Chains A and B, each alone.
Chain A
Amino acid sequence: MSRHVSKIGDPSPLKRLDEPQISKKIRLEIEVDENMSDNSPDRNRRANFSNVNGVNRNLNIHSVKPTTKKLIIKNFKSEPKLPDDYNETTWKKLSSAVIAIQQSKPNEYLLEELYQAVGNMCSHKMASELYKNLFELIDAHVRSNIEKFKTETMDRLLFLKKMNDTWQSHCNQMIMIRGIFLCLDRTYVLQNPNISSIWDMGLDLFRKYFMLHTLVQTRVVEGLLMLIEQERQGDKVDRILLKSLLRMLTDLQIYNKAFEQKFLQSTERLYAAEGQRLMQELEVPEFLAHVDKRIHEENERVLHYLDSSTKYQLIHTVEKQLLSEHINNILQKGLDNLLEENRLHDLSLLYQLFSRVKNGLQELCHAFNAFIKKQGRTIVIDPEKDKTMVQELLDFKDAMDNIVASCFKKNEMFSNSLKEAFEHFINQRTNKPAELIAKFVDSKLRAGNKEATEEELERLLDKIMVLFRFIHGKDVFEAFYKKDLAKRLLVGKSASVDAEKSMLSKLKQECGGGFTSKLEGMFKDMELSKDINVAFKQHLNINTPELMPLDMTVNILTMGYWPTYLPMDVTLPAQMVKFQDIFKEFYLSKHNGRKLQWQPTLGHCVLKARFKAGQKELVVSLFQTLVILLFNESDEHGFEYIKAATNIEDGELRRTLQSLACGKARVLNKIPKGREIEDNDKFKFNNDFVNKLFRIKINQIQMKETTEEQKATEERVFQDRQYQIDAAIVRIMKMRKTLSHNLLISELLGQLKFPVKPSDLKKRIESLIDRDYMERDKDNSNQYNYVA
């Protein structure tokens, strides 16, 4: 228990003690016990100079220095003998002084004289009687003061004001009276634990009559509640009056019993009704703004007049009635709209308010998660929207990320939930999102996509990787990505080698080297091909200088790295066959044990063409080349002839003829005219061909990727998965040497980049045991050992 000394003497009511006729300044110090517990017997001795003229009641206590100087009253001579009627005459003086104070009249005696008189009485054993007399005087005064209110039937506000005046003057009077009778407090009260200090005696009496007349008490409390309710309805009220009267209740120690409980009840009633009503009437954002305003107002109330001990319960009551009770309603009625419309301000407020109540954030997070799953599913599931799926996913992810970052305070629970929701919905449609993400990347990496700078492209690829991370069938992505990459590499259509490499390293980082080794192999093939072509050119110059000049280059692809293409045999002109054979012989001489398969669908050429209007260069596919070269023999050929001469597959040939005779640059004329190629159509060299360009690219008409082709790609993915599982099992077993079945399965599930059933894994394990890669432990059939 900390003790410290409180100085009195400065506040104006005691000023007269320091008047000039006092020859020696009297410094009064009194010991005050600050932290007395309620059941302490010394409790009543606590000096309580509360609320004088609304001044901060801690004023005195604050200026205290923690010295432990005891009471020292100087200038006391040896005890003089007192006259016999001293008691009687002195009390007469003292009582008239007290009554003058109580009636706010001037005092006819010097305060110093009165003070000394009290001192004398105390030192001559008259303290007890003096205390008793003073008590009766104060009792009578307080009683009559409070009884006045019993009969008063005045206006409530006036009533409160009068009560406040009465209280204020009671406090002022008690301070002055106490100043005079200080000696009583210092000696008599200190020596008798059961006697209250003069200040407390005043409070006790005030409380006694205030409590005795319940009507008065009720009128005060109801008046206070009325004022507060008026304020809650938006009126301006006298906050100073409220504050003063509430302080009175606190000082009388009836704040809690007489006021706080009723106040909290009425608060609860008010906000319960208001919550119900406004939930119906208002849109969620307005409702939230209202709740925020209410919480702010109630905090202000605590700041301005309520006792600070009420704060927790008050705010809790408001939160409960306006928020806790409506969590589900608010979320159901408003969250989806706020998220859809990206109302960041309202979402921030929602988060901030919900963080105040129990389970608020959990519920918000739950609803946020459900929204993402629902909304995300609509992006992913509808084949009609496939064209825009990836862009929409990116936008959706950006929007949700932004909300978590700027409204939900980067709360990890929310960012994890966001990820979980994306992973959930994106895999609701198997394979398609993976395929479309791969195609989206292709569209960004392909030449001609010049709208983005390197940095923008890099940032976009990073965002795509985030989507990619959610995909369960990563190998499906790889299969489609590979098809597009092959096209970019072989047609030289890649926008930037740096971007390609960057994407590759991102994939590698995400899925490991095994995932990208074949893609990297494709790049390697392109580099090796360059070297081979240089060597081939030298070889031609040395060995067959007599051959017609033809700039032939060959891209040699490693089977397995690249997508598989349908083999197609076509009839080449003799010159091309010759070159092809020379190359093949050259290549196989360098590479033992290999065989080459030509891929005519992937070849392309540059032709020189002579038209009436002049020379042109045509950039064309191999198939287009084969068709065009036929027109060196004759100006006109029928469809059937072309088909027999080139041996190009029927559908492929029709598309080729379409591109040459029905497209933008028509080097052939179709007879009769029309878009579709019929069996009886004839084609004629278009000598009148004109084009402002010298070098003209004639686009091959792309066959739409058929569903069968997509199925085939998926099929290949499934086959590859078997090898990948096998390799992963061997890899793990080689490292661990021996492992239980369950641990092996869980390591596998962690490593494999595609969804897989444990039963499939079991089959692969059996197959590896058959092939002597591993064996079942002889003593424990649930354990495997690696076989080196």
Chain B
Amino acid sequence: MSASIADENENTERLDDASKNEKMFTLKKWNAVAMWSWDVECDTCAICRVQVMDACLRCQAESKKDSYGKQDCVVVWGECNHSFHYCCMSLWVKQNNRCPLCQQEWSIQRMGK
């Protein structure tokens, strides 16, 4: 079979093949790998300038001794969709209840989990 015969419906064909039971190869087990990260527009927290995937600077400084890295330093999204470390933002709003990036009034849309 030459390359030219391959058509756009290849995927459906393969699915159809799978339904017949004469295949030479059958997928039995699949170990997939995926990387998770916070679903944010900007990788860096504008307040502490550390990547949001890392703990904020204060948490890093504090928890050098305990083992697992994240230390519940989660991300928080505002209604404006901007995101920061929750730690950083909760200190920030004590002084100024506006988003540091767009100056809209800050209200939490969701928390990372």
Known interface pairs A517-B69, A593-B110, A594-B112; A574-B24 also in contact (CB < 8 Å)? no
Q: Are B112 and A592 in contact (CB under 8 A)?
A: yes
Question: Which of A43-51, A207-215, A407-415, A600-608 is near enough to bind chain B?
Answer: A600-608
Q: Give the docked Cα–Cα distance between A588 and B66 (Å).
A: 28
Q: Is A629 an interface residue (CB 8 A)?
A: yes
Residues of the B chain whose Cβ atoms lie less than 8 Å from the Cβ of A602: 33
Q: Is A375 an interface residue (CB 8 A)?
A: no
The residues in B between 35 and 79 inclusive whose CB is less than 8 angstroms from any CB of A are 35-39, 47-51, 53-54, 57-58, 60-70, 74-75, 77
List the count of A-B residue pairs having beta carbons below 8 Å apart.
228
> Hey, what's the 0/1 contact readout for A578-622 against B, CB within 8 Å counting as 1?
011001100100111111111100111111111100000110001
Other-chain residue from A521, A550, A640 in contact with B3 (beta carbon distance below 8 A) = A640
Question: Which of A74-82, A231-239, A554-562 is near enough to bind chain B?
Answer: A554-562
Q: Are B36 and A603 in contact (CB under 8 A)?
A: no
Residues of the A chain whose Cβ atoms lie less than 8 Å from the Cβ of B111: 592-593
A504 closest partner in B (C-beta):
B67
A687 to chain B, nearest CB (A): 8
Q: Is B93 an interface residue (CB 8 A)?
A: no
A765 to chain B, nearest CB (A): 13
Q: Are A771 and B29 in contact (CB under 8 A)?
A: no
Q: Are A593 and B39 in contact (CB under 8 A)?
A: yes
Other-chain residue from A517, A562, A606, A609 in contact with B24 (beta carbon distance below 8 A) = A609
Q: Is A727 an interface residue (CB 8 A)?
A: yes
Residues of the B chain whose Cβ atoms lie less than 8 Å from the Cβ of A618: 25
Other-chain residue from A583, A593, A632 in contact with B112 (beta carbon distance below 8 A) = A593
Interface range for A: 35 or more
Residues of the A chain whose Cβ atoms lie less than 8 Å from the Cβ of B36: 556-559, 587, 591, 594-597
Q: Give the docked Cα–Cα distance between A164 and B51 (Å).
A: 99
Q: Are B32 and A638 in contact (CB under 8 A)?
A: no
Q: Are A574 and B30 in contact (CB under 8 A)?
A: no
Q: Are A605 and B30 in contact (CB under 8 A)?
A: yes
Q: Are A632 and B23 in contact (CB under 8 A)?
A: yes
A594 closest partner in B (C-beta):
B36
Q: Are A734 and B61 in contact (CB under 8 A)?
A: yes
Consensus secondary structure, chain A interface: mixed
Other-chain residue from A555, A617, A734 in contact with B28 (beta carbon distance below 8 A) = A617
Q: Are A512 and B64 in contact (CB under 8 A)?
A: yes
Q: Are A555 and B31 in contact (CB under 8 A)?
A: yes
A572 closest partner in B (C-beta):
B11
Interface range for B: 35 or more
Q: Is B103 an interface residue (CB 8 A)?
A: no
Q: Are A594 and B39 in contact (CB under 8 A)?
A: yes
Q: Give the docked Cα–Cα distance between A423 and B68 (Å).
A: 31
> Hey, what's the 0/1 contact readout for B1-44 against A, CB within 8 Å counting as 1?
11100100011111101100001111111111111111100000
Q: Give the docked Cα–Cα distance between A560 and B60 (Å).
A: 14
Q: Is A769 an interface residue (CB 8 A)?
A: no
Q: Are B67 and A598 in contact (CB under 8 A)?
A: no
Q: Are B33 and A599 in contact (CB under 8 A)?
A: yes
Other-chain residue from A587, A595, A637, A767 in contact with B1 (beta carbon distance below 8 A) = A637
Other-chain residue from B11, B30, B62 in contact with A603 (beta carbon distance below 8 A) = B30
Q: Is A645 an interface residue (CB 8 A)?
A: yes
Q: Are A514 and B68 in contact (CB under 8 A)?
A: no
Q: Give the docked Cα–Cα distance between A55 and B105 (Å).
A: 113
Q: Are B26 and A645 in contact (CB under 8 A)?
A: no
Q: Give the docked Cα–Cα distance between A607 and B23 (Å).
A: 11
Residues of the A chain whose Cβ atoms lie less than 8 Å from the Cβ of B28: 550-551, 605-608, 617
Q: Are B70 and A607 in contact (CB under 8 A)?
A: no
Residues of the B chain whose Cβ atoms lie less than 8 Å from the Cβ of A610: 23-25
Most chain A beta-carbon contacts within 10 A, residue among B23, B34, B53, B110? B34
Q: Are B33 and A726 in contact (CB under 8 A)?
A: no
A415 to chain B, nearest CB (A): 30
B113 closest partner in A (C-beta):
A592
Q: Give the docked Cα–Cα distance between A551 and B30 (Å).
A: 6
Q: Are A517 and B68 in contact (CB under 8 A)?
A: yes
Q: Are B33 and A573 in contact (CB under 8 A)?
A: no
Other-chain residue from A521, A598, A727 in contact with B34 (beta carbon distance below 8 A) = A598
Other-chain residue from A518, A594, A603, A640 in contact with B69 (beta carbon distance below 8 A) = A518
Q: Give the docked Cα–Cα distance between A361 and B57 (Å).
A: 50
Residues of the B chain whose Cβ atoms lie less than 8 Å from the Cβ of A605: 27-31
Q: Are A514 and B64 in contact (CB under 8 A)?
A: yes
Q: Are A490 and B33 in contact (CB under 8 A)?
A: yes
Contact sample, A vs B, 23 pairs, CB 8 Å cutoff:
A490-B33, A552-B32, A558-B70, A559-B37, A560-B37, A576-B30, A593-B77, A593-B111, A599-B33, A605-B27, A607-B25, A608-B26, A609-B24, A610-B25, A618-B25, A631-B24, A635-B1, A638-B2, A641-B3, A723-B57, A726-B50, A727-B61, A734-B62
Which 6 residue pairs are nearest across A and B when measured between Cβ atoms?
A731-B61, A641-B3, A602-B33, A606-B29, A593-B112, A517-B69
Q: Give the B-binding residues of A (Cβ under 8 A).
A: 490, 508, 512-514, 516-518, 520-521, 524, 548, 550-562, 565, 571, 573-576, 579-580, 583-584, 587, 590-599, 602-611, 617-618, 622, 625, 628-629, 631-638, 640-641, 644-645, 685, 723, 726-728, 730-731, 734, 767, 771, 773
